[in-house]
Amino acid sequence: MSFPIVVLISGSGSNLQALIDQSLQGELDINICAVISNKADAYGLERAKLAGIATHALNHKSFGSREEFDSELQKTIDQYQPKLVVLAGFMRILTETFTKHFEGRMLNIHPSLLPKYKGLNTHQRAIDANDTKHGVSVHFVSSELDAGAIILQASTSIEKEETAETLAVKVHALEYIIYPLAVKWFREDRLTLHNGHVILDGETLPESGIRYQKVLT
C-alpha cells in the first residue's frame, strides 16, 4: 500500500536525497509525492526533479505574513494527502495553526542534541561552548520551536581543531542514518505521538528519545 509523504526543504536537500536513495533502493517503502521549498534556488528542488518528484517553490517573501505563507503551504501539502510531512532543512518557523494541522505526522531533523542549541548556527555554538560532544535529533514538530517530542538522537565528538564545517560533515553522516530510520518506523506504524510523548512499539520513550547505536535496525 502506498505511503505518501511530502518533504519540505530550504537548501541543498542532502537529507531529502538520503530518503530518495533509500526509497529507490527498496529500503524505505515510501512514496515522496512532492518536495516543497521556500527558496526557489534550493538545490534540493533539482534533486527532486532528477528523481521525477513534483516540486513547488513557495517564496515566503511573496506573502504578507507568516500566517498567509503557512496557509498556502498547508493547501499545497494537503492536495497530496500525505501520511507524513518531513522537514529536511526547512528553515521557516511554522505557525501554531500549521503545526496543529499536522500534529503527530510531521517530523523535523535538528543539528544538535536537543534540548541544547535550539534554533540556528548549532555547530558553531557547540564549538564556542567548548562542548566535547554534539549531534543530531529527530523529533515530532510542535508549535514551540525545536521542542517537539524527541524520537532519535545520535552523537559525535567535537575535536580540538573542529570547525563548524567539519562538524557539519560528521553530523550529516549521522542524519542520513537516523532520519530514514525514524521515517521507516513511522511508515511501519511503530511510531506515534501520544499526549506529547513518543511511543515506539507500544513503549513510551524517554524525553531524549532513543540514542542511536550501530545495533539498532
Q: Which residues form the interface with ligand GAR (CB under 6 A)?
A: 9, 11-15, 44, 88-89, 109-111, 136, 172, 175
Q: Supply φ then ψ for residue 43, to 5 degrees.
A: -65, -25
List residues bridging with 98 in a β-sheet: none
Q: Which residues contact 103 (CB under 8 A, 6 or more apart)?
A: 140, 141, 142, 193
Does the annotation count 197 as an active-site position? no
Taking alpha carbons only, the member of 154, 146, 23 closest to residue 90 is 146
- Which is nearer to ligand GAR, 110 or 134 (by Cβ)? 110
Closest CB 186 distance from ligand GAR, rounded Å: 18
- The x, y and z cell numbers of residue 89, run together, are 532543512
Tell me: does residue 87 bind ligand LMY7XDAE (CB under 6 A). Answer: yes
Any binding-site annotation on 15?
A: yes
From the list ligand LMY7XDAE, ligand GAR, none, partner contacted by residue 94 (C-beta under 5 to 8 A by kind): ligand LMY7XDAE
Cβ neighbours, 10 Å, residue 63: 16
CA-to-CA distance for 94 and 98, rounded, in angstroms?
A: 6
- 56, 110, 123, 134: the catalytic one is 110
Catalytic residues: 110
Which spans of this chain sit near ligand LMY7XDAE (rule: CB under 6 A)? 87, 90-94, 99, 108, 110, 119-120, 141-143, 145-146, 148
